Structure 1
Amino acid sequence: MRTVFLYEETKKTLQVVLSERQAEVTSECLADWTPERINARIEEFKAEDRIRGFDLSEDVPMRTSIFQTGRDTFEVIWSFHHIVVDGWSMGILMKDFFEMYGALYTGTAPILNSVRPYSDFIRWYEQQDKQEAAEYWRHYLAGYEEQATLPKLPMSAERNNEYLQREEIRKLDAETVRRLVQIGNGCGATVNTVIQVAWGVLLGKYNHTRDVVFGSVISGREAQVTGIESMVGLFINTIPVRIRLEGEVSFAETVQRAQEEALESTQFGYFPLVDIQSFSSLRQGLVDQIMAFENFVQTPSLDDRNVGFQIEGVSGFEQTHYDFNIIVLPEDDGMSVKFTYNAAVYDEELIRRAMGHYCRILETVSMHPDILNEEIVMVSEEEKWQLTIENNLTEQEYARDKTLHGLFEEQVRQTPNAVALLFEDRQWTYRELDEKANRLAMQLRTLGMGAGKPVGILAERGPDMVAGVLGVLKAGGAYVPFEPGWPQSRIAGIMESLSMEHMLTTHRQLPVVRGLLREVPSLMHAVCMEETVVESHGEKQIYGLQKAGAESLEYEAVAVDAEQLAYIIFTSGSTGTPKGVAVCHRPVINLSNG
């Protein structure tokens, strides 16, 4: 309560204990309000309190707010920073609080347990062999190079400062939990290890791998320090858990191995995660989600102390630095599994499916602990039907007799002035793009390009390239795209294989085009999609795009049917001879309607 942490303009963070400090306790009377207004006000306060957070260099790291909701009913909100207290400590603090409150209520002396100072733990920590711990974790993570994660929303990396906390909760029934505990007993393992291996199975299937790592929150109270179980402070740490899912190994065997490794890891569980991550090539990406098995007492019983009131319900809110957290809570009638996640990063439907998959894995292995890892099925019968049947019912009507450029021309007629392309600082309307494509089409026709002939396009990605593609299609040809930067010899080889006579290009690619005109016998004409170039190379020519309004460029539609070639695309040829695939208009339109 009297501690502040100074971290600005210091080489190391300093913990400063002040001689005196006033606790922050606020109260607000809502007794005369309607239940709806009371709930709204309390939720508003909680949101404000979360946003406020704690400035560790100035604030008391714990505060209490009391709302009177009726004549003799109250709601208490207790906020604290994890740096001074962990979940285990909360049970100790609440027990002592109720003891002191009860003593005041009954006029008796409080009976409090002796307190062991947190400094005992610090002294123990400073005596540990950090080098031995470092060697253990370096060896533990050796060879692990690919992050195991859940699929994230597109562009979620760009929303790294946004945290929209959501929860998904499921309850495992008592019989399933009993069987999971029994598996652990049979393998000499805790039920926590069983739960962890099941999560490893899910991550393995989601990432198509047999080797996964995720974070596990440990209590940190395994240290050999007298009275550590009754100390108040921050003891928890996050350590990596590695689950190897060999194909011909059963789930139970995997649990047994995981427990053996967990016992070793626990010996070095005091080692900071940030240092452990430095031993991996993934660095901070090593741990993408964390699991916490909360088997400590969260709310002490009031049976042993008369405090003059009853507790009707306790709920908590916790936000970590991770976008996905698994919290497992053992209960008298089963076990709750809670996913807390950042909705700015993960899709809610995906999280619901992941919860269903996880619970299905737990139910399956609880009944068949000797099942091979690779034989565990996590999808439901409904999902199987969707994946194998429903998703393949793709037959539908589409514009099967139309062409790609024909559909574009329909859009031009509907919205000629709408923006079709945005590129750097310029906008192109449908009309502007269509007009340039028409000019290119007619110029190709006047240069003798026949129906169905291939036309190469060597251009940077941008509006000119799009206009070039449409121009070739409007002229009745099939475009053949070439990537700028390909070796000239590779492009020349493709052109020769197609007996290509025409190509479109840009100013930047003219040096390559001149070489192609010399190297490819069939190539006779190149059109630069700007208006300023005219070059002769013997019988061969490089033309600039003729200006709009020229008599020879009056556009006339060319008859093209849906079975005619639209484009021919080649592999890069970096590992051998480039291979081409010829595609007609109809299948492309079919795909775009799928």
Structure 2
Amino acid sequence: METVTEFLKTLATKGVKLSAEAGQLNCYAQNGTLTSDIRKGIIRYKSEIIALLEGREKRQQAQAEKSSSRKSKRFPLSAGQKGLYILQKVHPEMTAYNLPLCIKLNGEIDVKLLEEAWSCALNQYPILTARIVADEGTVCHSLDDRCRTSIQQQAVAFTDRQRLVAFLRRRVKQPFDLDRGPLARIELFTLNDQERILLLTIHHIIFDGVSAVVLLRSVIANYQALSRGKPVSLSRELSGYQEFVAWEEAMLASAEGRWHADYWQQRLSGELSSIELFPDLPRLASPSFEGASLAETLPADVSRGVRDFAKAQSILPSVVFLAAFKILLHRYTNLDDIIVGMPVIVRPGQRFSAEVGYFINMVPLRTRVGGRLKLSEFLREVQGTMLDAISHSSYPFELMLDKLRTKPGTKNPVFQVNYAYQNFISDASFASLSRQQAIDVQNVPEIGPEGYSDLGLEIFDKDALFSVHVRYNPDLYQEHAIKRFCEHYAALLKSLGEDGDRLLHEYSILPEQEKHRLLVEFNDTRADYPEDKCIHDLFAERVVLDPGHTAAVSGEQALSYQELYQESCDLALYLQSLGVSPDSVVGLCMDTRRWSVFTTGS
């Protein structure tokens, strides 16, 4: 016997629509559609249809109320967000935690549809409308419709890419006001009819790197649906960032949280070293959050060598890059105890995988580099340290700082150098996105966060090649020094892959050009000289030419050519009086505080 559900499916195929209102059933259909069988079915299932329709309306209303609640209610910050909030309040003009997502759009773009696609993304991810407020002594999110942003458009013209990049970086560094909001900006810069730059800048307190991918896919998918005349489908399965905050609070109060806390307390015990690549340079009295970037693509042979070496060692390329980074830091600083910070994605289970928010944690990777370690031993230690840190990454870094009793709002006292291996954004992923959505999307790799640490190394996996991005503080390091650091890093990577399993100090960090300059060019001291004269003859000629010029220096004492010649002659005459003849070998016992080099003429 046909059920009411099967009957409703039949009506749907014939274009018959039903609705229920105040216990009444309303029917909408084209002329001739309502056959006698359909009429009899509607009468037979009337009460059940009304119950189903009213039940669906109640569920939809409840979902809408829940969604509305998500947009307007307040909820506390996560532990990591609290640390960022304090840092930003102490340094309100700081822009180090402005996260940019910059893409180039090629071809025709319907700006109105793009605006609507962005609005739908805000509906899907209401945390993008948040501002940070104090509520009865507790700092929390406030999802505020007044913080819904719209696309800001501007036509720009630049003669070269370098000026365009400089312009975009200035736009990224416009500060946010956490209290007033909004904490997200979206700007569309028109280069010409076929080329546009879409720049999304969002404060890190509500955003992270994976969120950038999630949001970009959402906006492009929304745009594609709208351009085809289809409605945008919003997921009702997302938990919202407040669910993550609740999860974190419960985890920290559990045995698991205590286990994580004990691990980090042990790892960070003892004196913590401070890394300064060039300790002779003056340090600023107060922390600086200025930022600059340098990007280099590794040569094909070096990139291929890293992949082959990692495969041969049964480790990930990320471990090879981190190990090389630590070895190079050791060479520059002569420190054995090296601590490097690494960002880790904290999205427990699958329920937060498609969410937008601050799902990131910094973990300190502490290893010893000195001693007589072989490369194979060091790689295992680095890999073990990384895996342990990832397994304990749910414990917020800000709570680690609390255990160390550091002053809130100050620069990081645990590590001054960061490392990140980025493989969730690649040129291939953008190409794939373009193919799937029939829109040409290209990443603008020069635009990224800057100033969050004194020195940061990011490795981008670009399919066949690797790209090295160094983020640095220009108040501490000059560009030419960072370029040389990158050259040493590339040379070390090449040496690690080619020179077998050696002690760590035996691997070269010198590029071939620098090695040639040091070993060949600087030692090329050949010069023409009279072959018919001895060195004391040449010295005597110089005495005649420059008798008063300084010839030798020892400590604070100096001798001119004339004075050195006179003392040499005195010594020569004395030796001759003792019977010393030419070509004799004479041992001299002299006061080391006096002169130990003489031209004797004997």
Query: CA–CA distance in 1 between the matches of 2:267 and 2:522?
Result: 42
Aligned to 1:365: 496
Query: CA–CA distance in 1 between the matches of 2:168 and 2:258?
Result: 44
Query: CA–CA distance in 1 between the matches of 2:366 and 2:351?
Result: 31
Corresponding residue SS for 2:298: strand
Mapped pair 1:180 → 2:311: no
Answer whether contact 1:215 1:289 (CA < 8 A) is retained: yes
Answer whether contact 2:420 2:459 (CA < 8 A) is retained: yes
Aligned to 1:569: none
Q: 1:310 aligns with which of 426, 429, 440?
A: 440
Q: 1:50 aligns with which of 172, 176, 189?
A: 172
User: Structure 1 residue 330: deviation in Å?
Assistant: 0.4
User: Structure 1 residue 321: deviation in Å?
Assistant: 2.1
Corresponding residue SS for 2:179: coil
Q: 1:294 aligns with which of 422, 432, 438?
A: 422
User: Structure 1 residue 152: deviation in Å?
Assistant: 5.5
Aligned to 1:269: 393
Match of 2:203, as an amino acid?
Answer: H
Match of 2:483, as an amino acid?
Answer: R
Q: Deviations over 1:73-132 (max 9, x none)?
A: 322222111111111111111111111101111112445654342233223211234433
Q: 2:468 aligns with which of 337, 355, 362?
A: 337
Query: CA–CA distance in 1 between the matches of 2:289 and 2:389?
Result: 33
Query: CA–CA distance in 1 between the matches of 2:403 and 2:310?
Result: 31
Query: CA–CA distance in 2 between the matches of 1:326 and 1:400?
Result: 56
Q: 1:4 aligns with which of 91, 115, 131?
A: 131
Classify 1:190/1:162 alpha carbon distance in 2 versus 1 (closer, same or farther; 3 Å).
Answer: closer
Answer whether contact 1:168 1:352 (CA < 8 A) is retained: no
Query: CA–CA distance in 1 between the matches of 2:322 and 2:331?
Result: 14
Q: 2:148 aligns with which of 13, 22, 25?
A: 22
Aligned to 2:548: 401
Query: CA–CA distance in 1 between the matches of 2:184 and 2:294?
Result: 25
CA RMSD of aligned residues (A): 4.0
User: Structure 1 residue 279: deviation in Å?
Assistant: 5.8
User: Structure 1 residue 366: deviation in Å?
Assistant: 2.0
Aligned pair count?
411
Q: Deviations over 1:366-389 (max 9, x none)?
A: 234522212212123543455567
Match of 1:169, as an amino acid?
Answer: E
Q: Deviations over 1:278-306 (max 9, x none)?
A: 66699933311101111113554335544
Query: CA–CA distance in 2 between the matches of 1:381 and 1:304?
Result: 42
**5+ residue gaps, structure 1:** 404-472, 479-560, 564-579, 585-594
Aligned to 1:461: none
Classify 1:399/1:36 alpha carbon distance in 2 versus 1 (closer, same or farther; 3 Å).
Answer: farther
- Worse-matched range after superposition: 141-150 or 340-349: 141-150
Match of 1:122, as an amino acid?
Answer: V
Answer whether contact 2:291 2:452 (CA < 8 A) is retained: no
Q: Deviations over 1:121-145 (max 9, x none)?
A: 2232112344332321122233454
Q: Deviations over 1:422-457 (max 9, x none)?
A: xxxxxxxxxxxxxxxxxxxxxxxxxxxxxxxxxxxx
Classify 1:106/1:342 alpha carbon distance in 2 versus 1 (closer, same or farther; 3 Å).
Answer: same
Aligned to 1:239: 363
User: Structure 1 residue 218: deviation in Å?
Assistant: 1.6
User: Structure 1 residue 203: deviation in Å?
Assistant: 1.1
Corresponding residue SS for 1:241: strand
Answer whether contact 2:265 2:403 (CA < 8 A) is retained: yes
Classify 1:160/1:361 alpha carbon distance in 2 versus 1 (closer, same or farther; 3 Å).
Answer: same
Corresponding residue SS for 1:16: strand
Corresponding residue SS for 1:169: strand
**5+ residue gaps, structure 2:** 1-127, 528-541, 551-555, 565-590, 596-602
Answer whether contact 1:217 1:236 (CA < 8 A) is retained: yes
Q: 1:119 aligns with which of 214, 217, 242?
A: 242
Mapped pair 1:169 → 2:293: no
Query: CA–CA distance in 1 between the matches of 2:238 and 2:547?
Result: 81
Query: CA–CA distance in 2 between the matches of 1:205 and 1:278?
Result: 32
Classify 1:109/1:232 alpha carbon distance in 2 versus 1 (closer, same or farther; 3 Å).
Answer: same
Match of 1:219, as an amino acid?
Answer: I
- Worse-matched range after superposition: 233-242 or 96-105: 233-242
Classify 1:120/1:255 alpha carbon distance in 2 versus 1 (closer, same or farther; 3 Å).
Answer: farther
Corresponding residue SS for 1:346: coil
Classify 1:400/1:217 alpha carbon distance in 2 versus 1 (closer, same or farther; 3 Å).
Answer: farther
Classify 1:51/1:297 alpha carbon distance in 2 versus 1 (closer, same or farther; 3 Å).
Answer: closer
Higher helix share: 2
User: Structure 1 residue 344: deviation in Å?
Assistant: 2.0
Q: Deviations over 1:514-551 (max 9, x none)?
A: xxxxxxxxxxxxxxxxxxxxxxxxxxxxxxxxxxxxxx
Answer whether contact 2:458 2:469 (CA < 8 A) is retained: yes
Query: CA–CA distance in 2 between the matches of 1:582 and 1:3?
Result: 74
Q: 1:285 aligns with which of 413, 417, 421?
A: 413
Q: 2:374 aligns with which of 231, 245, 250?
A: 250
User: Structure 1 residue 190: deviation in Å?
Assistant: 2.2
Mapped pair 1:374 → 2:505: yes
Give the TM-score of the pair, scaled to structure 2: 0.59
Query: CA–CA distance in 2 between the matches of 1:107 and 1:211?
Result: 60
Query: CA–CA distance in 1 between the matches of 2:177 and 2:515?
Result: 50
Query: CA–CA distance in 2 between the matches of 1:121 and 1:71?
Result: 43
Answer whether contact 2:190 2:196 (CA < 8 A) is retained: yes
Query: CA–CA distance in 1 between the matches of 2:304 and 2:298?
Result: 14
Aligned to 1:536: none
Query: CA–CA distance in 1 between the matches of 2:307 and 2:234?
Result: 35
Task: Give the alignment of 1:489-504 within 5 angstroms.
Answer: none
Query: CA–CA distance in 1 between the matches of 2:178 and 2:500?
Result: 48
Aligned to 2:86: none
Mapped pair 1:62 → 2:192: no
Q: 1:36 aligns with which of 145, 150, 159?
A: 159
Match of 1:351, as an amino acid?
Answer: I
Mapped pair 1:227 → 2:351: yes
Match of 1:154, as an amino acid?
Answer: L
Answer whether contact 1:61 1:80 (CA < 8 A) is retained: yes
Query: CA–CA distance in 1 between the matches of 2:401 and 2:385?
Result: 18
Classify 1:166/1:57 alpha carbon distance in 2 versus 1 (closer, same or farther; 3 Å).
Answer: same
Corresponding residue SS for 1:285: coil
Query: CA–CA distance in 2 between the matches of 1:331 and 1:169?
Result: 12
Corresponding residue SS for 1:77: strand
Mapped pair 1:205 → 2:331: yes
Corresponding residue SS for 2:367: strand
Classify 1:320/1:344 alpha carbon distance in 2 versus 1 (closer, same or farther; 3 Å).
Answer: closer
Aligned to 1:459: none
Classify 1:25/1:286 alpha carbon distance in 2 versus 1 (closer, same or farther; 3 Å).
Answer: same
User: Structure 1 residue 43: deviation in Å?
Assistant: 5.4
Corresponding residue SS for 1:365: helix
Corresponding residue SS for 1:344: coil
Q: Deviations over 1:302-325 (max 9, x none)?
A: 355445x42254332212421211
Query: CA–CA distance in 2 between the matches of 1:43 and 1:263?
Result: 37
Give the TM-score of the pair, scaled to structure 1: 0.60
Larger RCO, structures 1/2 (Cα 8 Å, 6+ apart): 2
Query: CA–CA distance in 2 between the matches of 1:215 and 1:270?
Result: 15
Answer whether contact 2:298 2:467 (CA < 8 A) is retained: yes
